[in-house]
Homo-oligomer: A and B are copies of this chain.
Amino acid sequence: MTVEAHSPLIRKLSAFVALSEAELGVLDRLHRRRRTFVAGRDMVHQGQSDQAAYILSSGWVCSYKIQADGTRQIVDFQIPGDFLGLRSVLLRTSDHSFEPIVNIEAAEVLTSDLLDAFAQTPRLATAILWAASRDEAMVVEHLVGIGRRDADARMAHFLLELGSRLALVGMGSKKGYDCPLTQYHLADALGLSAVHVNRVLRQLRESDLVTFRDGRVTFHDYGGLVDVAEFDPAYLDQTGPLLK
């Protein structure tokens, strides 16, 4: 098996930079401290200091903040190839918590590992900065959306964005994707009640746009859903390597 085939991060960064053999080797070494975490138990707590970052290699994670009023805002979901807590390792104190949604595998990355990797290949530093920038663009898109989009458009946008991200790492297409999220995850991410999530999903299904059922998102009318969401994937920047 080639390195690319077993690392979603390498697939993802390849969308930004045409990686050399040497760079692939450096990335591979970043994956050497393999860890597993069980579903439902926080791996990093909001306010926790001095923890490592992780590269998610299989499974799904959500990052969230608990507000002063006790409600939970899911900031983002992480899928294979995403960093967990890259911010936290650099900022020393985590500004949110991470909870695995299913059992996951992840590689632990220390600040010193990052420095070593960057010293060996500055293009990799740029590629990781690209990935962090893309994550920030998604969070902005997502949180601005909560304030401005109606519930149907918000859900449609969310399902399309996840689909694009999964497609980049070979786990989805314009037909659909497997998705372990519950209605409670969707509710906490989109700022809706679970009952409202249910109603919105039924409407989208009855309009023959998309079905989310039994852990599978199936697009029936991808273009129609793009229209409902006013989804413009430019901010995901998946058009091919910028750095040759």
Contact = CB atoms under 8 A, between A and B. Distances in A.
Interface of A: 16, 47, 65, 67-69, 71, 73, 75, 86-87, 90-93, 95-96, 111, 114-115, 118-119, 122-123, 125-126, 128-130, 132-137, 139-141, 143-144, 146-149, 191, 230, 234-235, 237, 239, 242-243
Contact of A144 (B75, B91, B119): B75
A69 B147 CA distance: 12
Given A67-B144, A122-B125, A147-B73, A95 B137 contact: yes
Given A67-B144, A69-B148, A95-B141, 14 more contacts: A68-B148, A71-B148, A90-B133, A90-B134, A92-B237, A93-B235, A95-B140, A96-B140, A111-B126, A111-B242, A111-B243, A115-B122, A118-B118, A125-B126
A172 to B, nearest CB: 21
A105 B135 CA distance: 28
14 contacts: A65-B140, A67-B144, A67-B148, A86-B133, A87-B133, A90-B129, A92-B239, A93-B235, A111-B126, A111-B243, A115-B123, A118-B126, A119-B122, A139-B139
Copies in the assembly, this chain: 2
